Each structure stands twice: as C-alpha cells, then as structure tokens.
Amino acid sequence: MAEGSKRKTSIGEFARQVRAETSKVVWPTRQETIQTAIFVSILVLILSVFFLGIDTLFGAVVRFLLTLA
C-alpha cells in the first residue's frame, strides 16, 4: 500500500465514524450482564479454590522433599 494513497481523517469525521460504529454494537441487557457477572464470579471462586489446593499440595511435597535432604 503506497503512502500517497492514505488520506488523513479530520477529528469531526473520526467522531462521526466512531458514533456510526458504536450504534452498530449490540449491547447486552441488564439481565445478561448480571448473569455473566455471577457466572464469572462463581468461576473465579472455583478456580481460586482449585489453585489454592494445588499450591498447598505442591508446598507440602516440597517441604517433604526438603526434609529428606
């Protein structure tokens, strides 16, 4: 793509393009947002407990191995 073929966009034109693209977005409903937030919160809780368990297990293994040395 040649440098000469690019044209600069004015601030006003840019703002109009942004407004036009934003109007095309399908925004989630309040109910969808709440359901997604709850789902994410539950997954974060489950994963944090999982990684706590893995970390505790690995810590115990390392402590056991260090007692052998």
What is the structure's pLDDT at 7?
80
Taken in order 47, 48, 52, 53, is the CA torsion positive or negative? Answer: negative
Q: Where are the domains of the chain?
A: 31-69
Distance CA 6, CA 10 (A): 13
What is the structure's pLDDT at 8?
85
- Cβ distance 28 to 36 under 8 Å? yes
pTM (two decimals): 0.62
What is the structure's pLDDT at 37?
98
Render each residue's pLDDT in the chain as its tens digit; 69 residues. Answer: 455 567 888 999 999 999 999 999 999 999 999 999 999 999 999 999 999 999 999 999 999 999 997
